[in-house]
Structure 1
Amino acid sequence: MEVCGSSGVSLREFGCEQSLLSRPDGSASFTQGDTSVLAGVYGPAEVKVSKEIYDRATLEVLIQPKVGLPSVRERSQEQCVRETCEASLLLSLHPRSSLTLVLQVIHDDGSLLSCFLNAACMALMDAGLPMSCLFCGVTCAIDTDGQIITDPSAAQEKESRALMTFAIDSKERKVMMSSTKGSFSVHELQQCIAVSQKASEKIFQFYRDSVRRRYSKTL
């Protein structure tokens, strides 16, 4: 099922559950279509002296693929997620401590990096960590006809000539991080950013709805 709005931005159906793991300080599962990720946040905790930063917390992001060991692809995704989290977390409130974010791939059917970002944000919220803004991830594919597909599936990614993922902040809809591959023009890049900013409104609305549902159950 696609979630279609009058804006014409279509996204696959979302699902999210917070606090489903008992050991981490915050956790969340996030699904987009058939893509599914589990996130756990540990900390603030003690940090190894070698990794200690005197004026802020150290953030480590670990991505665990569905099978096998992390490869170069996971390392670059870890960096994208870490940069986004560092831009939104108020790390200076926890100097000389460590935060660890673990992301586990349950199923990859496209738009994996944006799913990582969305799961990460929900897990950080669940952990109650202070943040200057929330963020979400949006993936866009440009097909051979030049059409922009938001939240593409694995099959759509395979047939695209360009793939871009943006992290968008909840305050001003600014791009906090971008990851691109393939060939595209400056105009196409700007179009994809505009589409992602529009799509982010639906994702932030989904965040609000799922948090509201959760707390209305507990009250």
Structure 2
Amino acid sequence: MESGVGSVLREYGSEQNLLSKPDGSASFIQGDTSVLAGVYGPAEVKVSKEIYDRATLEVVIQPKVGMASVRERAREQCVRETCEAALLSTLHPRSSFTLVLQEVHDDGSLLSCCLNAACMALMDAGLPMGRLFCGVTCAIDAESQIITDPTAQQEKESRALMTFAIDSKDCSVMMSLTKGSFSVKELQQCIAVSQKASERIFQFYRDSVQRRYSKIL
């Protein structure tokens, strides 16, 4: 699947309703990068965290090995902000949702894989959402080529790395996390490439949900 400037999207795979304990769950695979997501809630919220007019959302990212570090905390914030923008949380005031993302394998574009797993798990939980979202990662290599959905090796060799959360309604950018040096023009090019790639991911969502429900019916 080609996309953007000298780049291809890796193969995607996903499965919903994998886990029995969470209220919604999904796995998402991009190439050799894989994330498992579980959503719990709506549940009672601790009084200290209670928001009277909407639900609170907690996001936990568990690395493959060891304890969560500052890097996971930054990713958690990115995922939380994106989910909060998509969820109609006012429909569940004074309650809480918890989204747990387990890194199964990281071969690049991990944050975008987390975002995609999160969206599929929220859909599986049947939570009210105003829009869907997806994550797309872009790397700019030494030759100024844009690589979409880069591998870990391509990330390592890149001079800039950007991840965007894209909105399904009008393909606008809901969240961005950038690293490295790049020009305004390069940023705009990466956004355009990500918006184009998002169309395929949203189509993938539709196809996989359709497949799942055609099996049930």
Structure 2-normalised TM-score? Answer: 0.98
1:191 maps to which of 189, 192, 199 = 189
2:3 and 2:193 in contact (8 A); partners too: no
Q: Which residue in 1 is equivalent to 2:48?
A: 50
2:82 and 2:165 in contact (8 A); partners too: yes
Q: Which residue in 2 is equivalent to 1:211?
A: 209
C-alpha separation in 1, matches of 2:156 and 2:61: 22
Q: Quick one: structure 1 residues 62 and 150, their matched pair in 2 at CA, closer, same or farther if it must change by over 3 Å? A: same
Q: Deviations over 1:116-139 (max 9, x none)?
A: 000000000000000000000000
Q: Which residue in 2 is equivalent to 1:167?
A: 165
Long gaps (5+) in structure 1? none
Query: Which runs of at least 4 in structure 1 moved beyond 2 Å after TM superposition?
Result: 3-9
Q: Which residue in 1 is equivalent to 2:35?
A: 37
1:16 maps to which of 5, 14, 17 = 14
Q: Deviations over 1:84-137 (max 9, x none)?
A: 000000000000000000000000000000000000000000000000000000
Matched, 1:76 2:74: yes
The percentage of aligned residue pairs carrying the same residue is 82
Q: Which residue in 2 is equivalent to 1:101?
A: 99
Root-mean-square deviation over aligned CA pairs:
1.2
Q: Which residue in 2 is equivalent to 1:147?
A: 145
C-alpha separation in 1, matches of 2:130 and 2:209: 18
Work out the number of aligned pairs and report it: 217
1:29 and 1:36 in contact (8 A); partners too: yes
1:12 is paired with a residue whose SS is coil
Paired amino acid for 2:141: D
Long gaps (5+) in structure 2? none
Shift of 1:197: 0.1
1:80 and 1:177 in contact (8 A); partners too: yes
C-alpha separation in 2, matches of 1:214 and 1:8: 34
1:104 is paired with a residue whose SS is strand
